[in-house]
Structure 1
Amino acid sequence: MGRKAGTLYINPKKFGVLHKPCMKEMITFLNCLTQNQSSAEKCVRQKELLSACMDTQTSKKRRSMGSINYHLQRLNRGRK
């Protein structure tokens, strides 16, 4: 089950670098845990920053536009 010959296709994994929100906060929290031998009491500030960042990310609602390959197929059908 391969693709048809002559169709347009873009590999979405190589399309671009994905933005990874809250990565900085997660790394600081994990570093704090490793420095304090997994003591969560000493890393309360970093944990709060991480949870606040994650809460703001879940409140953003994004509409799914479909995959880029789906739209390329639609354009290709109209061209014929």
Structure 2
Amino acid sequence: MGRKAGSLYINSKKFGTIQKPCMQEMISFLNCLSLNKNDDGKCMRLKERLSACVDAQSGKSRKPWGSINYHLQRLSRGRK
């Protein structure tokens, strides 16, 4: 299940500034858990903030026109 040799492909993970929208909230929550010996009762405010961030992100859908690799594959099919 790999890619064919010679096909066009762009690794989108190497584009540098990939946004990680809830990373700060998650780090804060995990730090709080580690300081309080995994007692999430003391970290409820941070847990709610992380949940709100994740819920806000789930409403955003992917771009309807597909990924860049999808379009590269379409172009290479027409080229043959």
Q: Normalising by structure 2, what TM-score? A: 0.71
**Alignment partners' CA distance in 1, 2:4 and 2:53:** 41
Query: SS at the partner of 2:4?
Result: coil
Give the 5 Å matches for 1:28-43: 28-43=28-43
More divergent stretch after superposition (25-34 vs 15-24): 15-24
Name the structure 1 match of 2:10: 10
Larger Rg: 1
Change (3 A) 1:16 1:72: farther
Q: Normalising by structure 1, what TM-score? A: 0.71
Structure 1's unaligned 5+ residue stretches are none
Query: SS at the partner of 2:14?
Result: coil
Question: What's the % identity of the aligned pairs?
Answer: 61
State how many pairs are aligned: 79
**Alignment partners' CA distance in 2, 1:56 and 1:33:** 23
Structure 2's unaligned 5+ residue stretches are none
Shift of 1:54: 1.1
- CA deviation map 1:24-74 (0-9, x unaligned): 001101101111111112111111111111111112233354342331122
**Alignment partners' CA distance in 2, 1:73 and 1:18:** 23
Q: What amino acid is aligned across from residue 11 of structure 2 in structure 1?
A: N
| Pairwise CA RMSD | 2.5
